[in-house]
Amino acid sequence: MKKRSLAGNVGVGVFALAFVSIFVAFFSASWLVSDERITGAKLQRLGLWTHCFRSLPDPQDEYQRRFFVGCRWIFDPFTTGYDQIRGYLMPWFIIWTQFFFTLAFLGVLASFVLVLLFFLCFGPEQTRFVELITLIGGILLGVGVCGGLAVIVFVLFANRDHWMPGHANNFFGWSFALAVAGVIEALIAGTLFMIEANIQKKKQKYMKESQTRFEMEQETKA
């Protein structure tokens, strides 16, 4: 009996794309970017965990005596006053985006280990082969749902007025595009693994029935 069907092989390939897309999107800082042609733009780009500003005035200082320039981690403990504007940098929709996409990220990490087991170690002769494939498919579908919620929240609220300056000149960057691609790929991969689990379950059932018929025939001949 073949170790994997076409659905399983394609599922592994699509998962690899999803893993790379979600991994890069999680750590990169181009979810929202400013038009580089705008010379006076205050925002340069931002991601889930990193913000890059050209010259952002302290939103809590009405006299604008402090400006933030360059790229910083959202929890940077070294820049004076950065912790004081964290509430401005992390409104509720960013927190929810971080939460859901972190779940998606952890899901693909867990799936990576399980897919390696499926690809390198497990075969139809193992009793938990179908359970392993079903688990991978379920996790990847969960990754797709969580990642989908993250990108939906981000696209609905991140580029609205009254948050990042110059919102009319801001647009969703390549990191966001990778996140969307990773979500779609995870859903496709999860579906393919579910199909593979169903195929392998039918194969195991057929093999058991064939073995039973063979044993009955041998007993009859004896």
- Domain positions in the chain are 6-29+91-208
Among 85, 93, 116, 77, CA closest to 32: 93
Q: For residues 183 and 208, give the distance between their C-alpha atoms in angstroms, rounded to a whole number.
A: 38
Q: Is residue 132 within 8 Å of residue 117, measured between CB atoms?
A: yes
pLDDT tens-digit map of 19-76:
999 999 999 999 999 887 777 778 889 999 999 988 887 777 766 777 888 899 999 8
Q: For residues 122 and 131, give the distance between their C-alpha atoms in angstroms, rounded to a whole number.
A: 11
Rank 125-134, 175-184, 210-219 by mean pLDDT and report only the highest.
Answer: 175-184
Among 74, 149, 140, CA closest to 109: 140
Distance between the two ends of the chain, CA-based, in angstroms?
Answer: 28
* Choice among 95-104, 153-162, 204-213 with the minimum mean pLDDT: 204-213
Q: For residues 122 and 130, give the distance between their C-alpha atoms in angstroms, rounded to a whole number.
A: 10
Identify the DSSP state of 118: I
Average model confidence (pLDDT) across the chain:
86
Instruction: Enter the pTM of the model.
Output: 0.86
Q: Look at the domain 6-29+91-208 and name its fold.
A: Butyryl-CoA Dehydrogenase, subunit A; domain 3 (1.20.140)
pLDDT tens-digit map of 85-143:
888 889 999 999 999 999 999 999 999 999 998 888 777 677 788 899 999 999 999 99
Q: For residues 94 and 114, give the distance between their C-alpha atoms in angstroms, rounded to a whole number.
A: 30
In 96-221, DSSP assigns E strands to 170-172
Q: Is residue 74 within 8 Å of residue 90, measured between CB atoms?
A: yes
- What phi and psi values does residue 113 have, to the nearest 5 degrees? -65, -45
